[in-house]
Every structure is written in structure tokens, then in C-alpha cells.
Structure 1
Amino acid sequence: MDRSLQGKVVLVTGASSGIGEATALALSEAGANVAVGARRADRLADLEKRAPGEVLTLDLDVTDEQSTRAAVSATVERFGGLDVLVNNAGLMLNGSILGADTTEWARMVHTNLLGTMYTTHAALPHLLQRKGTVVQISSTSGRQASAGGGVYAATKFGVNAFSEALRKEVTTRGVRVVVIEPGMVATELLSHLTDPTMQAAARDMMSAMRLLQSADIAKAVLYAISQPEHVAVNEILIRPTDQAA
């Protein structure tokens, strides 16, 4: 059994399903003490039962800066420090720019971009103390924007830009910054869509390929953070073999 993270402390946001849940389980299996946060905190109880290691469940809303600070503080209080932050919380509400419900834009910006920033800001002093790692779950949409996905892409481009600036600020102080950019993954993310045209397009696209699974992304996270301290895996782009775009 891989115990490469024995004794390390990890905080995973958006851990109630999908990539966040799979990552929390994989890191627990690798020996880490894992704090898991989500708005749907009731779902975290089942994750806690399935994890082989010690797990702290947190009611966390990354759009609320005070909530992110409380989550980081609770993690440090429980486990004595923080080695890895996995910023995974996000939502995708794709649709055309013309006629869009701009409240959905605000939700994406607040969750995907500001939520990542708030949690990173709260965790950074502790990560500097332990020469830790920040893992940002971005997207292929952080590299190229598609019609109907302009605002989602803008948030992910923003995450990538924020992460590169952060890397330049902290890498010489021992903190590694990792950006993971998945393509099409079989998660609940697409269920967030409210636009019927986008829903139909997503269903057609998903049915035409062998999708990535959440566990595939969790393995990439584990690979990046398990490297020796002098090795920084700064970016991992992962697409399904069948995804051409």
C-alpha cells in the first residue's frame, strides 16, 4: 500500500462528490490526515466512513471568506498544521453570453475564482511554515474558451493566472503550486447546467467518448504532491483519449 503521505495534513474543498471526494479518499489511503469541506456537509459523513485514515469534516462555503478561514483554522487545530491544500470546489453554468442570467456568472466567479483565492490566502501562512503544496483543480477551459462557456473559461483562466503569480511568489520559499487541468470527467459538474441547449450538447459529447473518472484525477494529484521536495510538478493536463478538442 502506498503510504507516501504518512503524517501529512491535507485540506480538500468541494469534497462531497466527484474529484474532491476521490482525491480525499486517495490521499487518505496514502497515509494523510485529511480535512474535507463542502457546502453539502451531510454528504461528508459517508466519505469519513470509507476513508481508512483520520478525517475531519467541515461545513465549508468557499464563497464566504470567513468560512475558508474557519476551515483552515479547524484543520490546523485538529492536526497541528497544514501541508497540502487542494482547491477543488467549483461549478459550471454554461450558456450563451447573449441573454444570460448574470447571477449565474456571479456564482461561478465567486466559487471558482474568488473561492480559490480566499482559501489559498487563508492557508498560505501555514503552507509556508511546512513548505507545503497548493493544488488547483482547473480545467482544459483554462487553456481554451468555447462558445457557451465564456464565463466558466474566464474563471479557469483566472485560476491559472493567479496560480502562476502565486508560484513565482512562493516557490523559492519551498511552497509548490500545482495546476491540474482535466478534460471531460464523469462527475456531477455537468448536472449544474440549466441551459437546455448546453445540457443536450454536453450529453452528446459525453456519450461519444470514454470519459475520465474522478479517480484518474485523484491519481494525478497524488503523483504531484508525492514528488521529492526539490521536484515541482507545476502543471498536469489530462484529457480523455477520445477528446479531440
Structure 2
Amino acid sequence: MASKLAGTVALVTGASSGIGSATARHLAEHGAAVALVARRKNRLADVAAEIERSGGAALAVEADVSDRAQAEAAVGQTIQRFGRLDVVINNAGLMLLGPVAGADALEWDRMIGVNVNGLLNTTHAALPHLLAAAEDGPRGVADIVNVSSVAGRNASEGFGVYNLTKFGVNGFTESLRQEVTRRHVRVGVIEPGAVNTELGSHNSGAIQSQIIDPFNASLETLSPDDIAESIGYMVTRPRHAAIGELWIMPTEQLT
């Protein structure tokens, strides 16, 4: 694979598994040094070691990006280690499903904390470095990709607060894109459909068996590599081309 990201540094949140770890590996294959950010230190270390065995450069950063100070520290550690930041993939996410009536409001707080506040915290800390990279970096451009969902396009019963967070991600992405695109920081959103990851595993057994498992069994789901390759496509376009929105779902998925 051509080293389209040689000389650049990428930061990926939620990098300990699924889409995040696959994306970190993929960006490293493109030549980027990668900071992997997540809460599960051992899993991060395994992914970082795998990247380094393949000849890449990786930094494992244990952090909960829903905490602003930890998100800022993760960006700071990346700059301290690699000296710059060119690409941010806001992937950390949580999906807790169920009806609004009788819901556990603490689950709402957790989702908003990760899906919204985590993205905002990381973006706020990273943006000055991305603007600098766009001015003096090897590509003359920097990238933010926010991992949303088809749930940011279409609302469904039982997905209420998850829908809220992902619709919010889409709106924030477009607003920020308009703010910084003329400074050559590209801001895009990717909206996956059903992907075979651990995302649904935090739900109750009833939600898992009644909603998630039957849906996933009804079609051929995407793999994390499918999403990683799509993110790689977004951030390796020529300087003059920006992918603002990429909607990717299983061929058999209707909504």
C-alpha cells in the first residue's frame, strides 16, 4: 500500500476494539504514526504492539474522553510523543437502547457523555494542532472524521437517546466543516449501518436478544475493516477534495 499518510500523525478514540482498532491499523498501513485512545489499557497495548510489529509507530493512551481533562491530556501526550497532529478520528461511542418511558436516565448520561461530550472534548483539544498541521504539514491539509451512524439519519423506536446523540454529531460536523474548511481542515462524518462489533454488548440481555441479535442475524453485517477502509479513503483524498459525508451500510439493510 502506498504511504499516503507518511509523515503524519493520527489520533483515534475508541481504539481498543472494533472500528477504532481496525482504523488505527489501517491508518498505520498508510504510513501515519497513530495515537490509540481508549479506557482499556491492555487492549490498547495489544493493538499498539501489533502496529509496531508491522513496522509502524503507535502510542497507547489510556483515557476516558468524556472527561475533558483526560481528552486534553490524550492530545497533549500525542503532541509530546510525535510533535504534531494531522488526523483525528472521533470513534468512541456507546449504544444503549430501550424505550424512553421508564428508562434509566443514568444510561442517557453515559451515552451523551461519550457520544457527544467525548467528541467535543477531543475536537476542542485537537483543533489548534490540526489548523497548524494544515498550514505547515506535508499534505497541506488536516482531517477530522466523526463516526456517527445511520441512526443519525433515521430515528427508530427504542433508539431515542442514541438517535439524539448521532443526529447531534451530524449537525456539529457540518457546522464545524463550514467553519474550518477554507483553512484546509476537512471535517467529515461517516454513518455506518450494522457492523459486527461490541457496540451492542453493553445492553441488557433482553435488548440484546429481542432487538440486536435478531437484526444482525437477518443480514450480512459489515466488518470493522469495511469502515476502516472507508475512513482511510476519506482522509487520503487530494488536498482539493473533501468527503463531507459517507453513508455505508450492508447491502441487505433497508434503514
Distance of 1:210 and 1:2 partners within structure 2: 30
Distance of 2:247 and 2:210 partners within structure 1: 26
Query: Which consecutive segments of 4 or more residues in structure 1 shift more than 6 A?
Result: none
Aligned to 2:225: 215
1:87 to 87, 90, 94: 90
Counterparts in 2 of 1:195 and 1:155: CA distance versus 1, 3 Å: farther
Render the CA deviation track for 1:118-140: whole Å, top value 9, x for unaligned. 10000000000012111100000
Render the CA deviation track for 1:172-221: whole Å, top value 9, x for unaligned. 11100010000000000011112614542211110110000000000001
Distance of 2:187 and 2:41 partners within structure 1: 27
For residue 58 of structure 1, report the CA deviation from its aligned partner.
0.1
Alignment of 1:151 onto 2:154: no
Aligned to 1:167: 177
Q: What does 1:60-209 align with in structure 2 at a 5 Å threshold?
A: 60-131=63-134, 132-194=142-204, 196-197=206-207, 199-209=209-219
Gaps of 5+ in 2: 135-141
CA contact (8 A) 2:200 2:208 kept: no
Q: What is the TM-score of this pair, normalised by structure 2?
A: 0.94
1:244 to 226, 247, 254: 254
For residue 35 of structure 1, report the CA deviation from its aligned partner.
0.3
Aligned to 1:228: 238
Distance of 1:134 and 1:200 partners within structure 2: 35
Render the CA deviation track for 1:125-160: whole Å, top value 9, x for unaligned. 000001211110000000111000000010000111
Superposition RMSD on alpha carbons, in Å? 0.9
Distance of 2:209 and 2:195 partners within structure 1: 15
Q: Secondary structure at the match of 1:11?
A: strand
Gaps of 5+ in 1: none
CA contact (8 A) 1:19 1:218 kept: yes
CA contact (8 A) 1:95 1:195 kept: no
